[in-house]
Structure formats: structure tokens, C-alpha cells
A and B are shown apart, each in its own frame.
Chain A
Amino acid sequence: MNLSSRMVIVLTSVGLISGSFLASVGLLTKERIALNRQQETEAAIVTVVPGTTNSQIVYEEEGFTVYEGKEDNGNLAGFAIYASGTGFQGKITLMYGTDSSMTKIKFLTIIEQRETPGLGSKITDVEAFLRYWENKDMSSSLTLHKPAASSPEELAPTEVNTITGATISSEKVLEIVNLSLERLRNLKKEGKLSSEEQDAS
């Protein structure tokens, strides 16, 4: 057998064997990864809209989903908004919850991020970042408080905190939230989110 055909055969078979291994690993882990993702979303809804026992999608488009969270007795607990956008290094996916009348952001949580480990990844830290997002006014765009405040009391209702050393990541999260707030306000104006209307239909 000459050299070039040997090279072709070896490379092709290495590729084929590797490919089939990967295909089976992909199949084996696919369900588990999808399950993880679903559990994560459900857990995130409960985190951002406390008291939710039952949630359903009320509006969905690419990279933006609105869930309605209901309590055990059927009362509306609030809405959970899932939004994603570009961060400093990769995609950031987050979720925040509102009260039932959509006037305030109750809690924010980060679902997925690829920010610099140890720096930008602090956007997932409750102490350093997330607790500064509680009870924020949703009627206008939020702004960033620079330099970083040391306690949530120092911030105005429309201000959120910066992480020291990760200004860009903080800005990106703010950008994603502000963009989704705008979408949300438009949807509300068009009446696409009102749950009464849904009940009637």
C-alpha cells in the first residue's frame, strides 16, 4: 500500500471512530443536559418570583421569554423574565422576577455566563452583585452606580451597582435587562401580557 492511501485511510478511520464515540456520548448526555437546563429554569423562576408553584409561558420570542408565576391558590405571584445577550466574553442568560403588577424588579439571577472566572463571573454572586438589584423601579431604564456602592441603601431605586474590576460585565447585564424592560413595556402597551385577557380567551 502506498503512503498517501495509507494516510487517507488512517485519518479517515481515526475521524470516523472519534465521530461515532462523540455521537454516542452526545446521545447519552443529551437528555441529562436538557433536564439540567429545564430544572435550572424552573429553579430560577422560583428564585426570582418567590412563592411560585406553577409557571407557564405567556410570551416567547428568540432570547426573550416571559413566564407567569402562580401561587398554590391560583393567585398571580409575579412574572419571570428570561433574557439573554452578549457579555464581555460570551453569552449571558439571566432571569428576573417582577411583582404581579410589573412595577418593580424583585430579584435577578444569572442562568448562564462565560465571563472571566473570578472577575466578571462575580455577576452570579449574591453578596457582590445580585442583592443590589432587589426592588428596582421598572418604569424607566436603569443606570449603573459608579464607583461601586458598599450597601444597597446607597442606591437610588433606578440605580444598580457596579462590580469593582468587572465594569464591562456589570454594564452588559444592565444592557440586557434594560433592553428586555423596553420590550416588556411595549408588550404591555400592546396588551399582549395582560393575564385578564388570557383568562377571558
Chain B
Amino acid sequence: MPAKSIRAEYLKGLWQENPVFRQLLGMCPTLAVTGAVINGIAMGLATSFVLIFSSLVISSIKKLIPSQVRIACYVVIIATFVTMADRFLAAFFLPISKSLGPYVPLIVVNCIILGRQEAFSSKNSVGRSLIDALGMSSGFVLALLILSSIREILGSGTFLGHQVMGAWFKPWLIMIFPSGAFITLGILLAIALVIESKAKQRR
């Protein structure tokens, strides 16, 4: 594998290998919690915390883990960080913890995290794994931010709870429903594909 520059290693998570728009990973939280921007951001940050620390730990002990039990080890380590994040939110950020409800414990099964351990951290140095995790986290937060902004503005007429649409605006209830999440995600994926194919033609 040709060594990428650190910059490229980070940037690939934002666009080229964006977990949501390009890899279609982690769809459960992406679709479920993006009805409001604050939930999207909180979910993005909680997932980032788990991803970054799991990558750090797993890349540093990768040589000790026999490959037959690697997945079991990854899951235990990931679950540890998820539980830490869950307790931390419940202790210090009660309103956010309440609005995310069951989706914080569900970060355990977010395939971005397990996917990055299997595809990257188990084969690369600690430093590179950290950069990769930072890039993927930023890409995930960015994707949730875009999706939740569109859904909250159209679905409730608000952004971060502040009214942004005038009184004439009638909220599109469908955007709050799961179907609205699928429709928005589909349109965003199509836009991402168009941009990508245009960029390829130019190359």
C-alpha cells in the first residue's frame, strides 16, 4: 500500500471515503436521530469519541490479539467506550442523553466503528489510525449535520430549536418521520454521486 500523506489520510474521511455518503455505513443512527440538529451533533460526537479511542487502543495492541478472536476483542473494547460515553452523558449532559434515548448504547453496533478497526486500525500504526479515526469522525459528524439541518428546517421550521422559517411556512411533517430520513438521504446520495462522477470526468 503506498503511504498516503497525513493530510490525505484525514481528508479521505470527509469526502472520498465518507462513511455515510460514500461507504453507506452507520445508517441506523444516521436515519434515526437526525430529526433534530442537536441530536445529530450529539450522536456524531459520541460516535467520534468511541471511534477515536477504540482505534487508538486497538491499533496499539493489534500485535497481541490472535486473529481468531480479534472481532470479539474489538467488540468488547468498543462496548467499553460506548458504555463510558453513555454514563458520561447521563451524568453531565442529561438533556442530550434523554433526547438520544436508546441510540447511545446502540453505537456498539455502528458498523463504521467495527469497520474501521477491521479495515484500518488492525493493519496500521497508532498515529495513522488516529488520523484515520479523526477523518472518519469528521466525515460522520458532517454528514449527520447536513442531514439533520435539512430535516429540522423543513420538518419543524427550526434550526437548533430556533425558529428560522417565517409564519407562512407549514412544516413538512414527513421530514420528521423515518420516510423523510430515507428520502433526504437518497437525494443527498444522488447529489454525492453526481459530484463524484463529474470530478472523475475532469481527471
A14 interface contact, C-beta 8 A: yes
Residues of A within 8 A of B64 (CB): 10
Which of the segments B15-23, B85-93, B110-118, B129-137 contacts the partner chain? B85-93
B83 interface contact, C-beta 8 A: yes
Residues of B within 8 A of A32 (CB): 91-92
Whether B177 lies near A25 (C-beta < 8 A) is no
Q: How far is the CA of A165 from the CA of B175 in the complex (A)?
A: 12
Residues of B within 8 A of A22 (CB): 80, 83-84
B150 interface contact, C-beta 8 A: no
A201 interface contact, C-beta 8 A: no
Residues of A within 8 A of B99 (CB): 117, 121
Q: How far is the CA of A40 from the CA of B98 in the complex (A)?
A: 12
Whether B36 lies near A7 (C-beta < 8 A) is no
Minimum CB distance partner of A35 in chain B:
B91
Minimum CB distance partner of B92 in chain A:
A32
Whether A26 lies near B87 (C-beta < 8 A) is yes
Chain A residues with a Cβ under 8 A of chain B = 3, 6-7, 10-11, 14-15, 18, 21-22, 25-26, 29, 32-33, 36, 40, 89-90, 112-115, 117-119, 121, 164-165
Minimum CB distance partner of B85 in chain A:
A25
Whether A7 lies near B76 (C-beta < 8 A) is no
| Known interface pairs A117-B33, A118-B176; A89-B102 also in contact (CB < 8 Å) | yes
Residues of B within 8 A of A11 (CB): 69, 72-73, 76
Chain B residues with a Cβ under 8 A of chain A = 32-33, 35-36, 39, 64-66, 68-69, 72-73, 76-77, 79-80, 83-84, 87-88, 90-92, 94, 98-103, 155, 173, 176-177
Residues of B within 8 A of A119 (CB): 35, 176-177
Whether A90 lies near B84 (C-beta < 8 A) is no
Residues of B within 8 A of A40 (CB): 94
Residues of A within 8 A of B101 (CB): 89-90, 113-115, 117, 121
Residues of A within 8 A of B155 (CB): 118
Minimum CB distance partner of A24 in chain B:
B84
Whether A114 lies near B80 (C-beta < 8 A) is no
Whether A10 lies near B176 (C-beta < 8 A) is no
The residue in B64, B66, B79, B92 that gathers the most chain A C-beta atoms within 10 A of its C-beta is B66
Q: Can you list 22 A-B pairs, Cβ within 8 angstroms, ordered by A?
A: A3-B68, A7-B69, A10-B73, A11-B72, A11-B73, A14-B65, A14-B77, A18-B79, A22-B80, A29-B87, A36-B91, A114-B101, A117-B32, A117-B35, A117-B39, A117-B100, A117-B101, A118-B35, A119-B176, A121-B99, A164-B173, A165-B177
Residues of A within 8 A of B68 (CB): 3, 7
What's the least CB distance linking B78 to chain A, in Å? 10
Whether A21 lies near B100 (C-beta < 8 A) is no
Residues of A within 8 A of B36 (CB): 117-118
What's the least CB distance linking A97 to chain B, in Å? 21
Q: How far is the CA of A128 from the CA of B192 in the complex (A)?
A: 36
Whether A112 lies near B69 (C-beta < 8 A) is no
Residues of A within 8 A of B88 (CB): 25, 29
What's the least CB distance linking A22 to chain B, in Å? 6
Q: How far is the CA of A112 from the CA of B101 in the complex (A)?
A: 9
Q: A15-B76, A25-B83, A29-B90 are in contact. List 17 more A-B contacts (CB 8 A).
A: A6-B66, A7-B68, A7-B69, A10-B73, A11-B73, A14-B65, A14-B76, A18-B80, A22-B80, A26-B87, A29-B88, A29-B91, A89-B101, A114-B101, A117-B33, A117-B36, A121-B101
